[in-house]
């Protein structure tokens, strides 16, 4: 099993090294910093979800996005990061300088990627076209974390997968809750 983890770590490092040596610098740094900043604290997704709550047609999507973000925060940042405690790439490999301040010390999973894919999954379930656009933004945010050398590829991949699962769980929970609220209103004669 140790050989497997050595291969994974080598794979992670080599990808980051290639990005660092061949892609970093100039205008690209500014572009990818912007994408990374979009994911800070899930602010982009929270703002979008709150806006969606104001409209009846998009209310479930907004609620599901907020639930997905909360589930993702608890699973990723509160539990997994503190349990795994994987150091950031630039800590383990000083030759990989971070493009920006990562916000916390632990790398696994990528919280930016997790929250982005959780929100995009929740949105996509209710509104496919908007969800597809959100997935593109989520992928760009995930890549920006690699570009900035603040996450390993496996951190981003784990964030993507866990985010999708959190989004699906949130959709299921919110759908059930809204269906119960709707049924209760029908019983009372309120629509």
Share of the chain above pLDDT 70, in %: 98
Q: Is the confidence at residue 1, as pLDDT, over 80?
A: no
pLDDT tens for 55-77 read 999 999 999 999 999 999 999 99
* pLDDT (0 to 100) of residue 5: 76
Residue 132: per-residue pLDDT? 97
Statement: residue 43 has pLDDT above 90: yes
pLDDT category at 182 given cuts 50, 70, 90 is: confident
Average pLDDT over residues 170-182: 89
Confidence of residue 190 (pLDDT cuts 50, 70, 90): low
Angle between helices 2-22 and 153-188 (to 10 degrees): 100
Average pLDDT of span 164-178: 95
Beta bridge pairs of residue 87: 106
Counting Cα atoms < 13 Å in the Cβ hemisphere of 52 gives 23
Domain ranges of the chain: 28-188
Fold type of domain 28-188:
Vanadium-containing Chloroperoxidase; domain 2 (1.10.606)
């Amino acid at each position: 099993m140790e050989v497997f983890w050595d291969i994974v770590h080598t794979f992670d490092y080599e990808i980051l090294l290639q990005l660092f040596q061949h892609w970093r610098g100039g205008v690209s740094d500014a572009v990818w910093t912007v994408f990374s900043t979009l994911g800070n604290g899930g602010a982009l997704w929270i703002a979008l979800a709150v806006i969606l709550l104001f409209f009846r047609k998009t209310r479930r999507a907004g609620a599901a996005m907020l639930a997905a973000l909360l589930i993702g925060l608890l699973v990723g940042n509160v539990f997994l990061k503190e349990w795994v405690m994987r150091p950031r790439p630039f800590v383990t490999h000083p030759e990989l300088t971070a493009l920006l301040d990562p916000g916390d010390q632990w790398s696994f999973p990528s919280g930016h990627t997790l929250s982005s894919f959780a929100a995009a999954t929740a949105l996509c379930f209710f509104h496919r076209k908007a969800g597809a656009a959100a997935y593109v933004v989520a992928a760009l945010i995930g890549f920006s974390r690699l570009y900035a050398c603040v996450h390993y590829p496996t951190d981003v991949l784990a964030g993507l997968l866990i985010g999708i699962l959190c989004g699906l769980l949130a959709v299921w929970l919110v759908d059930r809750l809204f269906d119960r609220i709707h049924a209760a209103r029908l019983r009372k004669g309120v629509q």
